[in-house]
């Protein structure tokens, strides 16, 4: 890797989960649009064929319309090859298959527990975490041994648990979790400004916020545009739409299984006075189960969707087809920049641009009332060779009891994963606010979910 | 107050809530049995007649069989008279009347929320706290102004909230909360030793424990007798009796409304590996509502009782009668020492004896993972002029998420009380693990309970 | 104050110490060069005539060549008039006169204690602090009562003590200390890059650093340009010039009483492995007195200067003359932008630009091993309506013992000032590393310095 | 080890440094006087002959007049044999020989640095620490591998550094440092009570104190007898004797090289308002060198002694002779109980007695303003199977800057020892308040002291 004439060349990126049908393509698009960085991307995936297809697709991207630089893609058969000499490691893996996800999301429904996403918290999030932790443990050990100075950007859910696992295993790792959920709330603030103040054309990055919490359950305590305080604006907006939600024209990407109208967000804001900053589908899962996820009807009343795994299977298959078509030259690779900050972060670390954005990192004081070293989400200052969290202060007292409990249970789950101790994981499970069951029932559900996914839990004392 | 020849004389005690029909009499008994302390007790109560009766009863105690010293009792009409020159302040008040308690305990039942005690946590505990905080605020301000150097021993529930309120209002106060619930668990350990090891005749004080948590939701992480580790003993005991509970012969004091057979305690121990150290009726109220308090049937299965307020009214009336008989000389005052540590603590502070026992005080590091200044319960070293908490370490990870949430909500309730802000109290209420309701329902319940007790909430912005 | 079309208008600035002959003029220049801000500056000074002169000079600046906006200057007779309605408060005062400074700097010389600056630490810094604290206390109380939401930028030394005083008095104040000493070290890094790597034309802002410590005794633990690590570069540079120092061509502004050749800086770097980031004259004063300030000869060996107060008197008089000439129209106001960040910070707070720079603020976790709330210097993220410290980590262990002692003594001095307790100040004085005296001698020196400056210490119990 | 009928039998003690001519004999005396404990003591020493002699002496103690129990002593040739199955490990070693101590104490005198003891802090303490750390590292690793559950009581100086080393190497170790220096100050308080109040016959244990700091530099913030506050008493006493010191009749044990008259203690008290709680010879070494140790004359003025190593050699030889006579039966073993708390602590841990006394342990919150995990000295509650520090609060602000610096340098020295990095040790050395030298001079002294003791520093990168 070398800096020369305003550009950085010969960057080496290891992409773990490099067979990805979605994140990888977006990342390729984002990379190809920056003319001051170039190098090689090594794709590693347990599904080597998928990685090989992405090698083909990535290399095609170099010739796509609008490409501004060149990145060479290489599928590799071992993680060691990918990591060797890496400057950056990108991790976006699916822990298990759609079958395990099916169990995570839908088994609890038999017990009256509904999950809108099921990959972060609640029963599904916990069981998924148990699968994921040993994988991240292995990856972190490899990074320690092969490329200890590499920067590691992780996208996998449950994000907090993944990042924490890596730091537990290799405390000197330079890793952070990257998530766009907060961006969505910045966009709602833009909608509020337009609706209430009539100010148009504002970009997301211009909405300045102070954000703190844990991934998918973050809170904005200060929001401004120029010198305008957006809290009164947001309050007016929330009051205006708290009953109906924000009904927007349906875009091409819209789908009924992922949609929500911000009613959960408004309800939380009007109760707590701070802005819950994630999609309603995520927010609802962190709250006591009777609030928004008591029944399918209640979910409907709050105008958000439960995402069925059947839908995920379907889109997954569609993307598989698309991958084949791209490789076969039957479809052209079209550069579609994502709204993720990953490539921007990478450039900032290379010293090409400075900025402040939200990340997930161990707490080194950025949140004064969550435990030191627990993984939290706040803004961080990105600049040459460094990602340093910005002090976000203390959680507002009224949301602290909610967030502190989440964080404490996440720590238990990580410990359970590292100790391969399902009992400890159950102790987190039984206290999850979505689990409104007697201990006997919750044990039965837990055991069933473990059993359903046992192919990926062989290292546990079960 | 003066030390002379191994005795301390002219001690002045202010007793707030000095009309008490139960605590006060026990305290009188405990005082009269120590031959090295003597002085005056000033009884203040909003019910002056009751204080006056206790003046009479207290003075009678001096001539009771077994009395070893002399204490002069004086009912006073103002709190200022009681506090003036006080060396010690005892506080044991009933915040409101049985009518308010009726609402606290039984209104939530209409919403399917059962409370076994209803004075510490859950809906009843929160509403009771709102009544109590302004009273304790006023008392603490009086102490600050009149007797800032006095030692303050408080018995009122919700204890954590009361102690925290006093320290918020007057940070230099020398106050702590005194509670005997942990003692009960030490006695269960003695039963376990007898049952499992055949060791008899052990005294409560000989059971050495490390205890930490918040009042009525404390945990023992280490328990020993001489050099015997009692954890394996307790485990065997818990396994033996987890189905039946510990069935004991009924004593004279036994009553069905206060009874429990330790099944909740055993269940928590077998799940978490540390000993929950309070009566089952209290422990159950801090856990998610589906665990032990889902329905009357579930309560019965767990072999503990819901204490109806009607029962409290009845015993209250009986004690009233007894007070009258005592004053009228129709019944003799019989010295009945309590198992409370209050008088022992008072003597230790006077330099007459050292010991270590559990107290409720602001966290100054004694629990490393609860917030600084939150009121917590641990052991403390009592000796001349000082009560210093013993470092109890961190909460075991698996109970931390439960306890941390409790502590965070208690802080909210204190803040709500000091700010006279019922909304903030509701934000704690809605997150209480006993409250398994939709936000709408919980608001309705909250408003109903507030309305029922509004006579004592006039200072709030309602 | 109003945002409109990319500009903020009607900004109101209160300038305390508005008679300043140096900082004020620089600030005027910086203000007039930004076309997107405009408003009024209210100049308050205990020397009203000086404020009046600056009113005249400031208004002349509007018509100077290169002026891009308009600011109206108003001298006011009371601090209340200045603060009323202020959006920003600038404070740059001289606590006392040159006579007091004469005593601060030169009295200790009789005891063999040499100070190169004498306004921050050491005997001079401590006595100056005692004068300054009551002034800042009064200013902070005025801000609390008159313009509690204003942003306060303070330039006065001793800076740490001034900022801490304001937060002690009014904890909700939005104040920070602004200092350019770190910038000087960034420029040395640029020199190193040019000398060692041959890279030219780099701007100060492009040198990315992590900085932490207390004002004038700060340390850089990470320094980069693009993706180049500057530590090896700086090491080579330090080794090359550690004997001779960095000898530079003398500029117009150069003067022998302020000069230094970085030898102290290199010595500290080569011992500790982290970059001391202030001028050598400041750094030397924080170190044990035998290291660099043992004698005039030793100072000469280390190639830095002791600044005599006679020199300060002289330049002060020259500037006074200049002020008169400017007001009389005998000399034209020439816009000379400073290298201070003050106006840049002001614009950032107004939402017109984001950036990260070093500031002095209470520790909210930005330095993990200095006490919470002590005033420390680190980077902070400036953006719309907020200044949030960036987590700088822990002090390197080997400099921690030096910095922690400084910070602890600063806390003592603030306490001494607020309590008006010279004894406590003496307890800091006697432990200062520059004070290598027996307790008797140090008490004599302390008393002499207090006596010399007693006109400004009338509020103390002396 | 077994509890039976109020006694604990078959206790196994490993004594590292078991050839000791002083501590060991005292420990034997203390052990033999307690009728409820018995077992075996395994003596390990690098000087096996000395251990063998102590085996003989220890076994003779069983038949001495006044013996109340039986302990069997066994000299062993390896540390492993000593540790195998140990319930307790006692460590009291001499790191190096009198030759190394000669260099530690007297080499600095050539540079004008006088040390009264030279084994804890200052140049001598630091160099001694470098020898000691690798020894304690090895011992701790052995304990981890052989008897991880044993309780470890360490007496070696520098005590803080020894304890910290063990916890760094094996964090789960149950170790603490035991020192009687604080007891001496309790006795001074008794003298004060007698002199000022006329109260006689008070025992040391009856003086209740709150003590905090680091070993040999501890501070008492509260001292009481019964309900009498001893601070005003001590103040009167200090004022009365601050010029002359406390001149006492010379006892048999008195020697001019160890004596002191409390003048340093009084001076520190009158300056800081809290009671410095160690012998003057120790206290002086932690203060800036100009205060009490500037010259031999100054030491004489302050009425304490510099202990020459020649004196230590002499008494060492005398004790060697005595050991031989004892073994040869030429002299009878006389039981002479020490004033150490070691055996009392051991009994408390066995559950035979509870008490509170001062110990040296990692900071777990007992001192709120020293770093977590740094080794500190405070009271601790000893009872069955546990030693738990008592929360001692924060250091008074005015001594914090002194103590915090000491603690920070101790941490550096431990790190230097564990990393075998003499440079880092020098960085602590150069900042020591006794070292009033230019960096060049201090480096020369450091190198000379390292060279003098290089036989014991072979593992370092020198």
Q: Which of D74, D106, D180, D216 is catalytic?
A: D180
| Beta partners for residue C7, in sequence order | C4
Distance from CA of D412 to the nearest CA of C (A): 6
Flag if D401 and C415 touch (Cβ within 8 Å): no
Q: Does D427 score more than 90 pLDDT?
A: yes
Query: Where in the sequence of chain A do the CATH 3.90.1820.10 domains occur?
Result: 2-99+119-180+329-338, 100-118+182-306+339-462
Flag if C405 and D405 touch (Cβ within 8 Å): yes
Nearest residue of chain D to residue C290 (CA atoms): D438
Flag if C351 and A225 touch (Cβ within 8 Å): yes
Question: In this structure, how many other beta carbons lie within 10 angstroms of the beta carbon of residue C35?
Answer: 11
Among A444-453, C353-362, D332-341, D362-371, which is the least confidently predicted range?
Answer: D332-341
Contacts of D134 (CB under 8 A, 6+ apart): D417, D420, D459
Query: Where in the sequence of chain C do the CATH 3.90.1820.10 domains occur?
Result: 2-97+122-180+329-339, 98-121+181-306+340-462
Flag if D288 and C436 touch (Cβ within 8 Å): yes
Q: What is the pLDDT of residues D130-183, one digit of tens each?
A: 999 999 999 999 999 999 999 999 999 999 999 999 999 999 999 999 999 999
Fold of A100-118+182-306+339-462: LDH C-terminal domain-like (3.90.1820)
Would you list the DSSP string of D253-268? Answer: T--TTT-B-SHHHHHH
In this predicted model, which residue has the larger pLDDT, B447 or D21? B447
Which chain C residues have a beta carbon less than 8 Å from that of D126?
none
- Whether D381 and chain B come into contact, CB under 8 Å, resolves to yes
Nearest residue of chain C to residue A349 (CA atoms): C227
* Contact yes or no for A222/C385 (Cβ under 8 A): yes
The mean pLDDT of D326-345, rounded to a whole number, is 93
Q: Which of B74, B106, B180, B282 is catalytic?
A: B180
Q: D interface mutation test: which of B39, B88, B201, B208 has the most D CBs within 10 A? A: B208
Mean pLDDT of chain D: 96
User: Band of the pLDDT at C436, cuts 50, 70, 90?
Assistant: very high
Which chain C residues have a beta carbon less than 8 Å from that of D416?
none
Q: Does D202 score more than 80 pLDDT?
A: yes
Encoding tokens for residue C119? 């306004």
Q: What is the pLDDT of residues B35-64, one digit of tens each?
A: 999 999 999 999 999 999 999 999 999 999
Q: What is the pLDDT of residues D266-295, one digit of tens each?
A: 999 999 999 999 999 999 999 999 999 999
Distance from CA of C349 to the nearest CA of A (A): 8
- Whether D7 and chain C come into contact, CB under 8 Å, resolves to no
The mean pLDDT of C149-156, rounded to a whole number, is 97
Closest CB to A408: pick one of B272, B401, B439.
B401
Q: Does D41 score more than 90 pLDDT?
A: yes
Closest CB to D271: pick one of C289, C409, C427.
C427
Give the CATH architecture of domain C2-97+122-180+329-339. Alpha-Beta Complex (3.90)
Flag if C404 and D404 touch (Cβ within 8 Å): yes
* Contact yes or no for C345/C153 (Cβ under 8 A): yes
Core vs surface per residue B382-396: b (16+ CB within 10 A) or e: bbbbbbbbbbbbebb
* pLDDT for position D340: 86
Q: Which of A74, A106, A180, A282 is catalytic?
A: A180
Distance from CA of D250 to the nearest CA of C (A): 30
Query: What ipTM, to 2 d.p.?
Result: 0.94
Number of Cα atoms under 13 Å in the Cβ half of residue D4:
6
* Distance between CA atoms of residues D80 and D14, nearest Å: 10
| Beta partners for residue D260, in sequence order | D304
Closest CB to B412: pick one of A288, A398, A439.
A398
Percent of chain B scoring above 70 in pLDDT:
100
* Distance between CA atoms of residues A266 and B369, nearest Å: 32
Q: Does C23 score more than 90 pLDDT?
A: no
Give the distance between the most distant pair of CA atoms in chain A: 66
Best CATH choice for the domain D98-120+180-306+338-462 from the list 3.30.70.260, 3.40.50.720, 3.90.1820.10, 3.30.470.30: 3.90.1820.10
Flag if B427 and A271 touch (Cβ within 8 Å): yes
Closest CB to B431: pick one of A401, A412, A424.
A401
Q: Does D255 score more than 90 pLDDT?
A: no
pLDDT tens sequence for chain B (462 residues): 888 888 999 999 999 999 998 889 999 999 999 999 999 999 999 999 999 999 999 999 999 999 999 999 999 999 999 999 999 999 999 999 999 999 999 999 999 999 999 999 999 999 999 999 999 999 999 999 999 999 999 999 999 999 999 999 999 999 999 999 999 999 999 999 999 999 999 999 999 999 999 999 999 999 999 989 999 999 999 999 999 999 999 887 788 898 999 999 999 999 999 999 999 999 999 999 999 999 999 999 999 999 999 999 999 999 999 999 999 999 999 999 998 899 999 999 999 999 999 999 999 999 999 999 999 999 999 999 999 999 999 999 999 989 999 999 999 999 999 999 999 999 999 999 999 999 999 999 999 999 999 999 999 987
* pLDDT for position D392: 98
R_g of chain D computed on alpha carbons: 21
Query: Where in the sequence of chain D do the CATH 3.90.1820.10 domains occur?
Result: 98-120+180-306+338-462
Q: Taking phi first (over 0 means left), then psi (-120 to 50 degrees means alpha), and beta for anything else, what does residue D354 get?
A: beta
Residue D216 falls in the annotated catalytic set: no
Encoding tokens for residue B180? 């005997």
Q: Does C251 score more than 90 pLDDT?
A: no
Nearest residue of chain D to residue C403 (CA atoms): D405
| Beta partners for residue C74, in sequence order | C42
Distance from CA of C189 to the nearest CA of A (A): 15
* pLDDT for position D243: 97
Flag if C385 and A1 touch (Cβ within 8 Å): no
Q: Does D461 score more than 90 pLDDT?
A: no
Homologous superfamily assigned to C98-121+181-306+340-462: AglA-like glucosidase (3.90.1820.10)
Closest CA relative to residue A156, chosen from A137, A174, A183, A129: A129
Euclidean distance between the first and the last CA atom of chain C, given in angstroms as a whole number: 46
Nearest residue of chain C to residue D299 (CA atoms): C438
- Whether A66 and chain B come into contact, CB under 8 Å, resolves to no
**Angle, alpha carbons B302-B306-B311 (nearest 5°):** 145
Q: What is the pLDDT of residues B189-247, one digit of tens each?
A: 999 999 999 999 999 999 999 999 999 999 999 999 998 999 999 999 999 999 999 99
- Whether D439 and chain B come into contact, CB under 8 Å, resolves to no
- Work out how many CB contacts closer than 8 A connect A with B: 79
Q: Indicate the burial class of D400 (C-beta count within 10 angstroms; 0-12, 13-18, 19 or more).
A: buried
Flag if C412 and D397 touch (Cβ within 8 Å): yes
User: Band of the pLDDT at C461, cuts 50, 70, 90?
Assistant: confident
Q: Which of C74, C180, C216, C282 is catalytic?
A: C180
Question: In this structure, how many other beta carbons lie within 10 angstroms of the beta carbon of residue C276?
Answer: 28
Closest CB to A404: pick one of B408, B428, B439.
B408
Closest CA relative to residue A376, chosen from A384, A388, A364, A387: A364
Core vs surface per residue B9-39: b (16+ CB within 10 A) or e: eebbbbbbbbbbbebbbbbbbbbbebebbbb
* Distance between CA atoms of residues A13 and D182, nearest Å: 61
Would you list the DSSP string of B16-83? Answer: ETTT-SSHHHHHHHHHHT-TTEEEEEEEE-SSHHHHHHHHHHHHHHTTSTT--S-EEEEEESSHHHHH
- Whether B216 and chain A come into contact, CB under 8 Å, resolves to no
Written out in words, the top-level CATH class of the domain with range A2-99+119-180+329-338 is: alpha beta
* Distance between CA atoms of residues B385 and A43, nearest Å: 69
* pLDDT for position B361: 98
Q: Which one-letter DSSP state was computed for residue A197?
A: I
Nearest residue of chain B to residue A271 (CA atoms): B427
* Contact yes or no for B275/B269 (Cβ under 8 A): yes
* Distance between CA atoms of residues C105 and B44, nearest Å: 63
Q: Indicate the burial class of D206 (C-beta count within 10 angstroms; 0-12, 13-18, 19 or more).
A: middle
Would you list the DSSP string of B212-245? Answer: EEETTEEEEEEEEETTEE-HHHHHHHHHHHTTT-
Homologous superfamily assigned to D2-97+121-179: NAD(P)-binding Rossmann-like Domain (3.40.50.720)
Q: Does D312 score more than 90 pLDDT?
A: yes
Closest CB to D424: pick one of C369, C398, C438.
C398
The mean pLDDT of C87-115, rounded to a whole number, is 97
* Distance between CA atoms of residues A265 and A245, nearest Å: 10
pLDDT tens sequence for chain A (462 residues): 888 888 999 999 999 999 998 889 999 999 999 999 999 999 999 999 999 999 999 999 999 999 999 999 999 999 999 999 999 999 999 999 999 999 999 999 999 999 999 999 999 999 999 999 999 999 999 999 999 999 999 999 999 999 999 999 999 999 999 999 999 999 999 999 999 999 999 999 999 999 999 999 999 999 999 989 999 999 999 999 999 999 999 887 788 898 999 999 999 999 999 999 999 999 999 999 999 999 999 999 999 999 999 999 999 999 999 999 999 999 999 999 998 899 999 999 999 999 999 999 999 999 999 999 999 999 999 999 999 999 999 999 999 989 999 999 999 999 999 999 999 999 999 999 999 999 999 999 999 999 999 999 999 987
* Distance between CA atoms of residues D266 and D438, nearest Å: 31
Homologous superfamily assigned to B2-99+118-179: AglA-like glucosidase (3.90.1820.10)
Encoding tokens for residue A144? 């320690």
* pLDDT for position C398: 94
Query: Where in the sequence of chain D do the CATH 3.40.50.720 domains occur?
Result: 2-97+121-179
Flag if D3 and B226 touch (Cβ within 8 Å): yes
């Amino acid at each position: 890797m070398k800096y020369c004439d305003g550009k950085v060349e010969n960057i080496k990126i290891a992409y773990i989960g490099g067979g990805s049908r979605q994140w990888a393509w977006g990342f390729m698009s984002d990379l190809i649009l920056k003319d001051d960085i170039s190098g090689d991307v090594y794709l590693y995936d347990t599904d080597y064929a998928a990685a090989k297809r992405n090698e083909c697709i990535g290399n095609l991207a170099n010739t796509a319309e609008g490409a501004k630089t060149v990145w060479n893609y290489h599928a590799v058969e071992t993680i060691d090859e990918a990591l060797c000499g890496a400057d950056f490691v990108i991790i976006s893996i699916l822990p298990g298959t759609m079958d395990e996800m099916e169990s995570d999301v839908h088994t609890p429904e038999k017990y009256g527990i509904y999950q809108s996403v099921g990959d972060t918290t609640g029963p599904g999030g916990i069981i998924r975490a148990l699968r994921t932790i040993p994988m991240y443990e292995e990856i972190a050990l490899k990074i320690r041994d092969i490329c200890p100075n590499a920067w590691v950007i992780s996208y996998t859910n449950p994000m907090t648990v993944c990042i924490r696992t890596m730091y537990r295993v290799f405390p000197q790792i330079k890793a952070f979790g990257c998530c766009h959920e907060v961006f969505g709330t910045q966009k709602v603030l833009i909608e509020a400004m337009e609706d209430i103040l009539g100010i148009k054309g504002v970009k997301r990055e211009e909405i300045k916020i102070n954000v703190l919490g844990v991934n998918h359950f973050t809170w904005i305590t200060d929001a401004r545009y120029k010198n305008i305080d957006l809290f009164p604006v947001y309050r007016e907006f929330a009051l205006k739409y708290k009953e109906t939600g924000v009904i927007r024209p349906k875009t091409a990407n819209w789908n009924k299984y992922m949609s929500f109208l911000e009613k959960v967000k408004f309800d939380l804001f009007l109760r707590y006075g701070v802005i819950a900053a994630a999609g309603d589908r995520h927010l609802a899962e962190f709250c006591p189960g009777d609030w928004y996820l008591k029944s399918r009807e209640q979910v409907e009343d709050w105008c958000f969707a439960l995402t069925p795994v059947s839908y995920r299977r379907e889109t997954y298959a569609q993307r598989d087809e698309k991958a084949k078509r791209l490789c076969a030259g039957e479809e052209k690779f079209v550069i579609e920049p994502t709204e993720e900050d990953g490539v921007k972060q990478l450039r900032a670390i290379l010293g090409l641009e400075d900025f402040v954005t939200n990340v997930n990192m161990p707490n080194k004081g950025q949140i004064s009332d969550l435990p030191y070293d627990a993984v939290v989400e706040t803004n961080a200052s990105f600049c040459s060779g460094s990602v340093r969290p910005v002090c976000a202060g203390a959680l507002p007292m009224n949301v602290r009891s909610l967030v502190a409990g989440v964080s404490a249970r996440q720590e238990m789950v990580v410990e359970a994963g590292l100790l391969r101790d399902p009992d400890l994981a159950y102790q987190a499970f039984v206290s999850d606010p979505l689990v409104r069951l007697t201990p006997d029932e919750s044990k039965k559900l837990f055991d069933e979910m473990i059993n359903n996914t046992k192919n990926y839990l062989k290292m546990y004392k079960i």
